[in-house]
Chains A and B, each alone.
Chain A
């Protein structure tokens, strides 16, 4: 399957600041997905990102807090804005399974964010 390079791998940030997470895929994918994994919890979908259009956000997530860019078929960014300690989580990007639903999804290595 394809490989996603995600960075940064971890960061410690001050509350009130913003962090942008980048994901680069080694092949073209139509859709990319951003997930959050809070401590001790499973993965929750934040949004789905298509190239050239606004991301589609899940209930409980808004564009002002988690703006997403998708400038081409191999790259996406997620920004966590105006951070608070509650935003401390692992953030993961994912691709795959879009043109053909029966292909496997693949993930970046995750960004472990700690907000102090």
Chain B
């Protein structure tokens, strides 16, 4: 059974810092990995999708990398802003089914 782990569980940084969120998964046979953002009490907003054949994806200040063989992904946020404060979720899609397996998330607080 696929297990997805996210470290750290919570992170507080001052505005302007660059930061890295980590995601690991136990079964490397994935089709893709997706990073989401969730604001309190809200649904999920997709940030980046990395296909299994790709090493990284970039969108604005966000960069996500994927090392499938070692079962790891990182989400890099450059020049963090208070508006980045949210929970960041990592999810993988297996070849055996269509649903996503989620980690528990990293709760990020960026202070002014």
Contacts and interface: CB of A to CB of B under 8 A. Distances in A.
A41 B89 CA distance: 11
Interface of B: 4, 31-32, 34, 36, 41-46, 49, 51-52, 89, 91, 93, 95, 97-100, 102-105
Interface stretch (A61-69, A77-85, A103-111): A103-111
Interface of A: 1, 6, 10, 31, 33, 41-43, 45, 48, 90, 92, 94, 97-98, 101-110, 112
A110 B98 contact: no
Give the 9 A-B CB pairs with smallest separation, nearest first: A109-B43, A110-B43, A107-B44, A104-B49, A101-B31, A42-B104, A42-B102, A43-B102, A45-B99
Given A90-B41, A110-B43, A101 B99 contact: no
A42 B98 contact: no
A41 B42 contact: no
B31 A104 contact: no
Contact of B44 (A48, A92, A102): A92
